[in-house]
Amino acid sequence: MTSPLARIESHSQEAKRLIGIDYDQFLALVNLAEKRHLEKRTEIEKNKIRIIAPGGGRKPDLSPKEGVCLCLLYLRQKPIFEILGLLFDVSKTKANDAFNYWVEILRDILPASQIEEVEGNSEKYQELRRILGEYELIVDSAEQAIFLTCRL
C-alpha cells in the first residue's frame, strides 16, 4: 500500500484532494511545523533530566513531514486511527499520539478563526458580526430533518 505522503510527492496535483491544500502550501506548512517542533523539543530538553546521552534512545517513527501529512489527512478524510496507522505503517496508538502532537503544533502556526481574533475587542467583534450578517445562508431542503407520520 502506498503511503499518502509518497502519493502526494509523486503526484503533487492530488495533494488538494487528499489533504485539502496545494503541494506548495503543504511544503511551506511542513517547514513552519518543523521549526515549531524544534523549538518545542529545545524547550523540553532544557528541563529534562538525562539518563541516556543526547542522541541516544529510540528514533521517532514518523518524520515531521509524515506527521503533518498524517494530521492533515485525518482532518480532511476522517479515517479511524487503525486505518491511519496502516497508511503510515504505525500502530493506531502511535497514529493517535502523532495526530494529537502535530495538531497542537499546527494550532500554533495556523491563523485562528476571525471570531477568535476579535474576541477581546468589542468594536471589532461588532463590526465582524455586521459583516457576517450581510451573508445569506442557503440550506438545502434535503439536509433538513424529515418528520414521518403514521396512519393507523
**pLDDT tens sequence across 94-127:** 999 999 999 999 988 887 777 777 778 888 888 8
Q: What percent of the chain has pLDDT over 70?
A: 88
Q: Are 56 and 102 in contact (CB under 8 A)?
A: no
Instruction: Find the mean pLDDT for residues 29-51.
Output: 88
- Region of 102 on the Ramachandran plot (φ > 0 left; ψ -120 to 50 alpha; else beta): alpha
- Asked whether residue 142 carries a pLDDT value surpassing 80, the answer given is no
Instruction: Find the mean pLDDT for residues 19-30.
Output: 92
- Asked whether residue 21 carries a pLDDT value surpassing 80, the answer given is yes
For residue 141, the SS3 value is helix
Integer angstrom CA distances of residue 15 from 30, 69, 88, 122, 138: 13, 10, 16, 39, 29
Of residues 58 and 63, more confidently modeled: 63
